[in-house]
């Protein structure tokens, strides 16, 4: 019978963990990070789900005729913003895991 109690505790903890993880993911989706490329010529803002939510182009710093350069700047700014957002997510997940007593690296 003791094993049944342990199993119930495990299921209760798993449910709590799942709810906490979902709440954390929703919270992170509301957070944003911004990165720029070309000394601020292009800025990209990404949320915690790594979704691009805003893109800004400073027309005074970009040659509209040089579309190849503009494309490169956009890709670079978006990539940097996504890396920052991924790092933010990793840090938050690590903090949450620590609070729940889960060993580092166990969360996605």
- In tens, the pLDDT along 30-66 reads 999 999 999 999 999 999 999 999 999 999 999 989 9
Pairing of strands 32-37, 52-57: unpaired
Domain ranges of the chain: 2-99
What is the average pLDDT across 9-27?
79
Q: Find out if CATH 3.40.50.150 is the number for domain 2-99.
A: no
How large is the average pLDDT for residues 75-84?
98
- What is the phi/psi pair of residue 63, to 5°? -90, 110
pLDDT value of position 23 = 87
Taking residues 97-102, what's their average pLDDT? Answer: 75
The residue-averaged pLDDT of 56-79 equals 95
């Amino acid at each position: 019978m003791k094993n049944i109690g342990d199993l119930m505790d495990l299921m209760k903890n798993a449910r709590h963990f799942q709810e906490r993880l979902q709440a954390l993911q929703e919270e992170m989706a509301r957070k944003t990070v911004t990165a720029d490329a070309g000394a601020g010529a292009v800025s990209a803002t990404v949320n915690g789900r790594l979704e691009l939510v805003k893109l800004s182009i400073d027309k005074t710093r970009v040659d509209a005729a040089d579309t190849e350069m503009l494309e490169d700047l956009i890709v670079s700014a978006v990539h940097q913003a996504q890396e920052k957002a991924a790092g933010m997510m990793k840090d938050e997940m690590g903090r949450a895991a620590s609070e729940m007593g889960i060993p580092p690296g166990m969360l996605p």
